[in-house]
Chain A
Amino acid sequence: MNSSPFAADPFTLLAAMVLMLLIGSVFWAAMAGSLNVAPKVSACMALANLLVAASLATHALRGVVPNLLAFWGSDVFSLAGLAALRAGIPGLSNKPLAWRSGLLIWLPAVLSLACLPYVGDLRVHSRIVFSGLALLALMAGIDTWRQLRQRLRWGLSALLSGPLFVIGAMLAQRALETFSKAPHYPDLLDAEHGNLAFLWSTLAMNLLINATLAFLVLTKLILQIQQLTREDPLTRVLNRRALQEAIETEHLRLQRGKPYALVMIDMDHFKQLNDSLGHAAGDAALQRLVEVLGHSVRDVDRMGRMGGEEFCVLLPLTDLAGAALVAERMRWTLEQSQFSWQGKPWPLTASFGIAEALPSDANADAVLIRADQGMYRAKAQGRNLVQAREAHER
């Protein structure tokens, strides 16, 4: 009995890995096909699993299948597998596949391998194959990291893209290893200790790649759900709940001497627009309003839809005078903007109410109510105006 707990029969291990990869491939194909989850990434993963399975299977069948397939073919498949993985990564952000950079590594590697005879010392082959694989894994890792950093915190991004870097490092180490080794002829069916360690680490890598990609897809879905709970589906600005949360957070900062102001916006004559041109026109007008007003909003400002035709903008570190400037610019740009529905022009204007948070305000609602009252005042004074209600007014 072998003393190592991981002693195993290499051929069976390879066969088991092939089965694992094939089932993984079916899983990803089902994800792409029936569930339509990140279809590009899933399709690429299905292909990658299939190619790696083919690479291992052809290697295991040395002597059974033609030599060209068992040697050169096996390397071609494994490189193509990681190239497919790398190509699929941009699909996580619904961007086009990065097949060019994958091809740029795959093609030279495959061509140079084709020129080298597979006899005797195969260290040069190993160097080409593993440095190619390592590069592809590294590129996938960098791409994943970049995409995640746009939406996630530092730690979570590192945790989710980390495995790809680890795999890249492991593959690079395999390429470097050949420099310290005597000329050798790698055969995965060899039962010696070093080869078994190699096989088990290959199994671990395959599991890790699939799990990492599965977690990346899950992260994508969870972020999508978070967005849906925070966003107004029509205008893509924050919904009322999310904006109120943001205002309440800002109100807590007020105690530390950070002022903020609110601009309440209500579109004028929206009911008439809806009645005369239809609900679809009303929707388009709201979208146009958000588009136009969006130009006057800074990155730190938050815009949200309070319901119906009512919007609110939170302006951190802004006083009443600053809010008045922003609101007046918004009012003017909206008045100047063009809107027409099915050829019929409709003048878009809105009434604006502004309010500044004061230390005497018990909660954020008090500020909101004041902004609301300013807006009503603007409506009462003839619409298309900016108005404020002073805190001391009764």
Chain B
Amino acid sequence: MMGVRSCPTPQSMPPFDANTLMLVIAVFNGFMALIWLILGRLFRIAPQASFLLAMANIVSIPGLHCPSCSTLWPAALGPWMSELAMVISMALLALGVRRLMRLRFRYVQVLLLCTAAVLAATLFNIWGFADAGLVVLSLGMSLLALLAFRDIVQGRSAEQAPAVTLLQCMPYALWALMMLAQALSLLCLPQSREWFLHGDVPSVPLAWVDLFIELCIGISLVGMVVARLIGRIKHMTLRDGLTETLNRRALSLELRRLQAQVERGQTHCLVMIDVDHFKQINDQHGHACGDAALRHLVKVLRSTMRSLDQLGRMGGEEFCLLLPHTALADAQAVAERMAQALRSAPLQWQGQTLTMTASFGVMPCLQDDPLGDKSLAMADGLLYRAKAQGRDRVCVDTPELRAAQV
């Protein structure tokens, strides 16, 4: 099959060779399989997705370049048996992408599509309709590529730039289009067949597109893994490790953002929360119980929060809740509701029931306070007031209190 040279290139440049291109893709895919195995086994990154992607790459190799494979099956099965490997590889790729994007792992759809395409193509080939078999396989691959495309769009992270998503989806969309066009040309436009096939090997343009797509898919999937690790690092630097709430740095950034909006006339509130008698919990039941108590507190507080509200840990047993676009009276209601929820949901610790309470200081975000320091200090003052008045209560900012504090 060597020496199928057909491509109108400029006089001075030699023509390209489709077989060489397919061989390069095969070598690249073999290399990528190795990479995924190392990623999954050695680095323990997304082991299942890595395994599926490694398999997808390995399975594709006989489909791409296997000069002596045609002797393995009877001639009656027709010239397209190697394409079966490509469909199976595409199915594995779609599954690997789904796993990598952390979507619900529903494999039935992919499996059915792949099996149907393989069976129908084999039957068509046996009956002697080799082209019809290829049409079925092309359509199957097109649909599988579309599934992978959809998964990548669905599984993208919220803060990802649209251009990056576009780049990531592009190879799958291109592949789906190419395969669809190939099926259509075989079905109704016999004169354009040369665009896709040259004898029974892919044409040079198709081989180039194929190489481009495989390179993009392989490299962008590795990029996705890297992006995910980066996301995890960002998350960890902004979160408190124990309670998964914002840490102090992230909270002060959020507060700064809200304070800037206060200057433009928005009303925000903040609530300072401190667990009552936390030292006793720690001393009587140990640090592990203290940790469980904080996690329990956060769980209870979260259940009464809106999605817009932000909870952060100031340190120790002290938390701060940011309530954007909330009037003081509503903020007070939120705090009262939280205190009530906490009272009615005691902590279960090693068979004991520990009732937890907390004190709350509710404060509106002040004007002329770009860093939020003043608002925080005032809320802290209200919190101490609540503690001094006997704990387990909400203390709200009033003009008289403010005058007394100043």
Contacts and interface: CB of A to CB of B under 8 A. Distances in A.
B286 A279 contact: no
Given A24-B219, A307-B316, A221 B16 contact: no
Nearest to B31: A207
Contact of B23 (A8, A17, A27, A218): A8
A196 to B, nearest CB: 10
A16 B287 contact: no
A364 to B, nearest CB: 12
B289 to A, nearest CB: 12
Given A20-B215, A306-B287, A2 B233 contact: no
Interface stretch (A67-75, A110-118, A222-230, A254-262): A222-230
Nearest to A61: B13
Main secondary structure of the interface of B (DSSP, over half): helix
B230 A7 contact: no
Main secondary structure of the interface of A (DSSP, over half): helix
A11 B5 CA distance: 12
Contacts of A27: 219-220, 222-223
A5 B19 contact: no
Contact of B2 (A7, A219, A365): A7
Nearest to B204: A12
B287 to A, nearest CB: 7
A219 B233 CA distance: 13
Contacts of A358: none
A31 interface: yes
Nearest to B314: A279
Interface string B352-392: 00000000000000000000010011000000000000000
Given A34-B164, A207-B31, A225-B232, A16 B21 contact: yes
A146 to B, nearest CB: 22
Interface string A221-247: 110110011000100000111000000
Interface stretch (A81-89, A209-217, A341-349): A209-217
A4 B236 CA distance: 52
Contacts of B227: 35
Nearest to B247: A233
B241 A30 contact: no
A203 B14 contact: no
Interface string B156-189: 0000010010010000000000000000000000
A9 B16 contact: yes
Contacts of A200: 27
A186 interface: no
Contacts of A189: 14
Contact of A19 (B12, B211, B220): B211
B52 to A, nearest CB: 19
Interface string B222-235: 11011101101100
A37 B226 contact: yes
Contacts of B20: 8-9, 12-13, 16
Interface in B42-87: 43, 45, 67
A66 interface: no
A208 B236 CA distance: 32
B406 interface: no
B164 A30 contact: yes
Contacts of A308: 315-316
A221 B226 contact: yes
B404 interface: no
B28 interface: yes
A182 interface: no
A35 B225 CA distance: 12
A225 B39 CA distance: 16
Given A8-B17, A64-B13, A229 B230 contact: no
Contact of A31 (B27, B208, B223, B236): B223
Contacts of B31: 204, 207, 211
B316 A233 contact: no
A30 B223 contact: yes
Nearest to A282: B315
Interface in B310-355: 314-316
Contact of B24 (A5, A36, A203, A229): A203
A183 interface: no
Contacts of A16: 20-21, 24, 211
A278 interface: yes
A23 interface: yes
A278 B373 contact: yes
Given A9-B16, A211-B31, A215-B38, 18 more contacts: A9-B5, A9-B17, A11-B13, A11-B14, A12-B16, A12-B20, A15-B16, A19-B211, A23-B219, A24-B219, A36-B230, A207-B31, A214-B35, A215-B43, A225-B236, A228-B236, A307-B287, A365-B286
8 contacts: A13-B24, A23-B216, A27-B223, A34-B164, A218-B43, A228-B236, A241-B241, A365-B286
